[in-house]
Amino acid sequence: MRGGLVTLGEALGVVAATDPGPLAPGAALRLDFAGAEATVAIGVRRLGHESAWVGCLGEDAVGVMIRDRLRAERVDLSHSRIDPEHPTGLMLRERRTADRIRVTYYRRELAGSRLSATEIDAAQIAAAGVLHITGITPALSVSAREAVYAAVGIAAGAGVPISLDVNYRRALWTEAEAAAELSKLVTHADIVFAGVEEAALLVPPDSPDLMAEAIAVQGPSQVVLKLGAEGALAYADGVVITQPPVAVTAVDPVGAGDAFVAGYLAGLLDGGSVRDSLRVAALCGAFAVSVPGDWAGLPFRHELGLLDGADIQR
Active-site residues: which are they?
258
- In contact, 143 and 117? CB cutoff 8 Å: yes
- In contact, 13 and 87? CB cutoff 8 Å: no
Helix (H/G/I), strand (E/B), else coil: 220: coil
- In contact, 20 and 98? CB cutoff 8 Å: yes
Q: How far apart are CA 115 and CA 235, in angstroms?
A: 33
90-to-12, 42, 63, 97, 201 alpha-carbon distances in Å: 5, 20, 10, 22, 27
Nearest partner of 257 among 198, 181, 171, judged by Cα: 198
Q: What is the DSSP letter of 135?
A: S
